[in-house]
A and B are shown apart, each in its own frame.
Chain A
């Protein structure tokens, strides 16, 4: 196969991918919905809806009628809900008030009302969206195994390409990702059609139809697998990258996706065994603790495991291997950043100013998480909803909204093409902040600088996704011991002179401040370093 035909395959792949993506993107506004009386009655019973206002409203304006797209159906449900709650509050009928959000209510009703082509042809629709997306992306990515030529560093043209140099393609990706996360977190009723596509898969795993979080989890795995293929091709000379990519894939698919779903099928609580508190910020929330305590042996095991994971396993592993064992070998956020986000890693800011912002923000989030969890636990044990006049649930909701949804999701991933692939990991993740303390002060991990070989070219700094100015250390012959380093190993990979090596060794000599570099006569080094 010659290079020209490879390029043609890539172009075909791109078109197929865009068709799949286009259909997927249009789905939220398509489809036909019709709510049966029977179905609605079931919902009323299941959700224990006591609001006669709401029931009447829905019976009158929704049941038996056809709606084109969720944009037609969802406002009516929201209106009915608002009207019902308004009436009940006015009449002080608090037992009738509906606490389900309008988004959730619309999703619930919408999910069971789909009657059109999409809801009836889940398999075909899966092929037209996920199927085309996967095939197209692979056709686009795989020919690079030949097109990229000999193995080695493949960064040619990154700053000439629109997509990787903040051009219009990057901005389109940005808009798409941000919108996707906004739908996911704040308008899940528009994800109803997406859930149909993966219903068969969800049913085969957990036995339940898919919700929008299942769509997200499934898509996450698919995106990681496809983009991991890209990583394998790009870094095929670098065993560290290959092993690491395989590891994040494994943990995402098995631990974050399959095991929790299968646990649900086995009547166990949904739990991701690798997701450590405080990244898993709602681990100590009342509903979770109650669910664990009511789940018998496995619940108790998860409770103990979760605590031991955070307090013992995580720090001990960081002591031996640095925080990379978690952040770039295991973590799902890290996994996405290292696969989908790899083309954007060069966009992290290396300025001193960014470093200052980073330290305030990430430690601020850690503090927030700890204070919130403190309040939560106090509330749980003291069996009270408020602490010092502050409602625990409002603090939890604030954290979920600001940190859990907006920071980790919308900004963390949505901003990949503009601010780089580790915005969340660098500026927001409370677990990363915690691991960072351990890495900085008590660990065997360091990036060793190879004596005087550095030529200050700056490839390392440019491609550091965490915004560390690696060169600033390398050119001084100083090992890199930074709390933020996630150990992705790319600085070492892109170094043209073999200067950087990620390694674990004795703590003594790990930090090596040197005024004068190796290569000078020994006397001068002694003179300066001993003064």
Chain B
């Protein structure tokens, strides 16, 4: 029986603990300073919006941990001493380990903006951030306006949150179109329009210059590089996240932007592993980034490192890329790779279809010459993960995907389906004569 210590009780650390418990009777301790119990960070927004209470964000009931002999320790790790395998905790206590898993996640980026540490300037990542927002922006009487800086997924979520309490929001986005480093232009445009539909004051191609304070050190306005001065009560900094690893600076563990790990998720120091948002692969896997701050990769790394720790050394090999998000009312899913104009290579061809009235569109990426299917982005249409994973695995070409598109639809029953429109647009764009195949349960449920 080994003594396993995990720093961080997010999805990565908790998944590792659960899987280690399934396979072994190792002693497991999870340390977290943020919260007593594991909660789902992705749901914090719904607590503010009143869709849920905080306890709804906890996927396991409180008795779960004791029952599964997973010790929870609420403490902050000051530093790691790998020579005598101990962790120094705040308050001076220390704890020893046989194997250590670092799963400390991320923290919001700050780019040295003047005023970035003022009162009522905050990110949206932790439970404490949520509590701060509840205090800073309880309603539109206290918070007359919020300015959000950074046009990514957290930024738009924060805008949605504040709008749910009718708080006026100005949204500063560095790019010329929302999230266009990731999304192709048609989709990015759809989201621009949708943001405006929600009465959010979207300022594209605009950077934060400075946050201005009153005499008490409270933010009262922001200045943009366009020379605008925007009065506000709260400033949200949502320009991405960065690994939360400051406490490891002098630990001897090799660091880049994150904790450097190999494919076994091992650091340079024996018996120390890193998983989740804070881990940085020496070399990127496929088209993935070396640091992947995504919910499911945290989970997968947890599943993988558990195997290694329990005696079955297993490399982290994420399968085909997929992801999802929700932009206000528009659900987004992606399978495989669809690059934005900024990042795509010359051979990547895009087929785009957008509904005439509704906020629905798809983009299919394929190889210009071989016609190999590379990936799909969908907005307002749900797609079946398993089907696209299979098609990517089988290296299907784009015509096949178009022909069998109905198999992939995952919208609820009785929803209007758009495959016929999509196929006819594809036929006319590329001079094809594909007739869509009827949805077949047999194909869908056949195990590849």
Taking Cβ atoms with an 8 Å cutoff, the residues of A that contact B are: 149-153, 155-161, 237-240, 242-243, 351-352, 448, 450-453, 455-459, 461-462, 471-472, 475, 489, 492-494, 496-498, 501-503, 505-506, 508-509, 515-524, 527-528
Contacts and interface: CB of A to CB of B under 8 A. Distances in A.
Given A150-B198, A452-B300, 4 more contacts: A240-B413, A506-B442, A509-B445, A521-B317
B265 to A, nearest CB: 13
B289 interface: no
Contacts of B333: 453, 497-498
Interface string B333-360: 1000000000000000000000000000
A18 to B, nearest CB: 24
Contacts of A522: 319, 393
A497 B445 contact: no
Interface residues of B, number: 60
A456 B331 CA distance: 16
A351 B329 CA distance: 30
A450 B300 contact: no
A159 B441 contact: no
A472 B52 contact: no
B382 A462 contact: no
Interface string B36-77: 000010110011011111001111010000000000000000
The listed residue with most A CB atoms (<10 A of its CB), out of B22, B322, B412, is B412
A485 to B, nearest CB: 15
Which secondary structure dominates chain B's binding surface?
mixed
Nearest to B316: A521
Given A155-B51, A493-B412, A459 B43 contact: yes
Given A240-B415, A243-B414, A458 B296 contact: no
The list of the 3 closest CB pairs from A to B, nearest first, reads A451-B385, A521-B317, A152-B329
A453 B385 contact: yes
B257 interface: no
Nearest to A503: B413
B83 interface: no
A496 B312 CA distance: 35
Interface in B281-328: 295-296, 299-300, 303-304, 307, 312, 314, 317-320, 322, 324-326, 328
A158 B445 CA distance: 38
Contact of A521 (B164, B319, B412): B319
B438 interface: no
Contact of A159 (B52, B324, B385, B414): B52
B198 A456 contact: no
B412 A501 contact: yes
Contacts of A456: 11, 40, 42-43, 59, 295
A516 B314 CA distance: 13
Contact of B59 (A243, A472, A515, A520): A472
B317 A524 contact: yes
Contacts of B317: 520-521, 523-524
A177 to B, nearest CB: 24
Contacts of A508: 445
Nearest to A493: B412
Nearest to A157: B50
B416 interface: yes
A518 B389 contact: yes
Contacts of B328: 150, 152
28 contacts: A150-B198, A151-B329, A156-B164, A159-B47, A160-B50, A450-B386, A452-B300, A455-B42, A455-B296, A455-B324, A456-B295, A458-B56, A461-B56, A489-B413, A497-B324, A501-B382, A501-B411, A502-B413, A505-B445, A517-B299, A517-B300, A517-B303, A518-B386, A518-B389, A522-B319, A524-B304, A524-B307, A528-B307
